[in-house]
């Protein structure tokens, strides 16, 4: 698997028209047509890092599932964005601060109010989330570092999923599954020589295909990160931090 290359992540002009801030507002609006979809997206994206943080605080798997579900419900019910300016700042940092405040008060809340508190539960693969947590190295990282690590994994996976969908719609050329191994956290083991022989291509043609998939992955990763911040400078800062987290 290739290492991170900043050239893949070169700046592109773009508009910050849709960010996680706007998704939160949409999810909190029970009357909007896209509220359910927005709610599901937030849960599916941020469940693993929030769950990992709670588990590292000493809660067992069942308690962590309950607390994560309750946190999402209370987070939206309280309309947290009405209390802050969403013109700047990292959604990752804001969400973690809200979680810490929630956990500080959790001991005073009745367990009967958990598991969604009346809001329909989102179907999430809690077993897979617990397995990922269990596979974490038994090091001394703080809950905050673990949260950021899982956040970084999810950002990369979202970019890979978007790229996989793009390649599925393409006609001809190497398949995404054949190129995925050349991307960070991508799966695949075929070498350049093996791909060339398999498809009757020159090594140069394979290299061009690899270069293009890397460039597109970088652009999609930037888009994913841009959805969690509000300025171009913050995109650059988050990219540098993501690389440092995944490279640690």
The 10s digit of each residue's pLDDT in 24-33 is: 666 666 666 6
Per-residue confidence (pLDDT) for residue 126, from 0 to 100: 58
35-39, 117-121, 169-173 — most confident range:
169-173
What mean pLDDT comes out for the span 235-241? 89
The pTM score is 0.71
How long, in residues, is the chain? 248
Say how many CA atoms lie within 13 Å of 221 toward its Cβ: 31
Q: Are 159 and 217 contacting, i.e. CB atoms less than 8 angstroms apart?
A: yes
Q: Which is more confident, 6 or 28?
A: 28
Angstrom distance (rounded) from CA 79 to CA 198: 55
Which pLDDT score is estimated for 120? 47
Q: Can you tell me the distance from the alpha carbon of 211 to that of 245, in angstroms, rounded to the nearest whole number? A: 24
Confidence category of residue 211, pLDDT binned at 50, 70, 90: very high
Which pLDDT score is estimated for 24? 67
**Per-domain residue ranges of the chain:** 1-15+142-248, 17-136
> How large is the average pLDDT for residues 154-165?
92
Give the mean model confidence (pLDDT) for residues 186-191.
81
**pLDDT band for position 3 (cuts 50, 70, 90):** low
Sign of the dihedral defined by the CA atoms of residues 210, 216, 221, 222, in that order: positive
Average pLDDT over residues 9-22: 51
H/E stretch holding 42: helix 35-56
User: What SS3 state is found at 153?
Assistant: helix
Q: What is the DSSP string of 165-215?
A: HHHHT--SS--HHHHGGGSTT------HHHHHHHHT--HHHHHHHHHHHHH
Output the CA–CA distances (angstroms, integers) from residue 73 to 54, 106, 161, 186, 214, in the order listed: 16, 13, 27, 33, 38
Instruction: Return the minimum-mean-pLDDT range out of 30-44, 118-132, 203-217.
Output: 118-132
In degrees, rounded to 5, the angle at the alpha carbon of residue 8 between the alpha carbons of residues 7 and 10 is 65
Band (pLDDT 50/70/90 cuts) for residue 245 is confident
């Amino acid at each position: 698997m290739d290492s991170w290359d900043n050239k893949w992540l070169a700046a592109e002009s773009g508009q910050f028209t849709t960010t996680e801030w706007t998704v939160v507002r949409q999810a909190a609006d029970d009357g909007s047509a896209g509220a359910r979809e927005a709610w599901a997206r937030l849960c599916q994206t941020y469940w693993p890092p929030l769950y990992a943080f709670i588990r590292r605080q000493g809660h067992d798997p069942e308690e962590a599932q309950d607390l994560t579900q309750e946190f999402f419900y209370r987070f939206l019910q309280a309309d947290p964005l009405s209390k802050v300016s969403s013109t700047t700042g990292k959604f990752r940092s804001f969400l973690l601060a809200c979680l810490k405040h929630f956990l500080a008060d959790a001991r005073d809340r009745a367990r009967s109010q958990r598991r969604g508190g009346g809001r329909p539960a989102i179907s999430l693969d809690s077993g897979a989330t617990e397995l990922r947590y269990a596979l974490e190295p038994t090091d001394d990282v703080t809950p905050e570092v673990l949260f950021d690590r899982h956040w970084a994994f999810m950002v990369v996976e979202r970019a890979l999923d978007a790229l996989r969908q793009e390649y599925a719609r393409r006609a001809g050329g190497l398949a995404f599954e054949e190129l995925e191994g050349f991307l960070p956290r991508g799966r695949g083991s075929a070498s350049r020589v093996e791909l060339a022989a398999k498809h009757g291509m020159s090594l140069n043609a394979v290299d061009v295909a690899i270069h293009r998939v890397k460039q597109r992955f970088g652009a999609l990763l930037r888009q994913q990160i841009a959805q969690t911040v509000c300025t171009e400078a913050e995109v650059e800062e988050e990219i540098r931090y993501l690389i440092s987290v995944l490279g640690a």
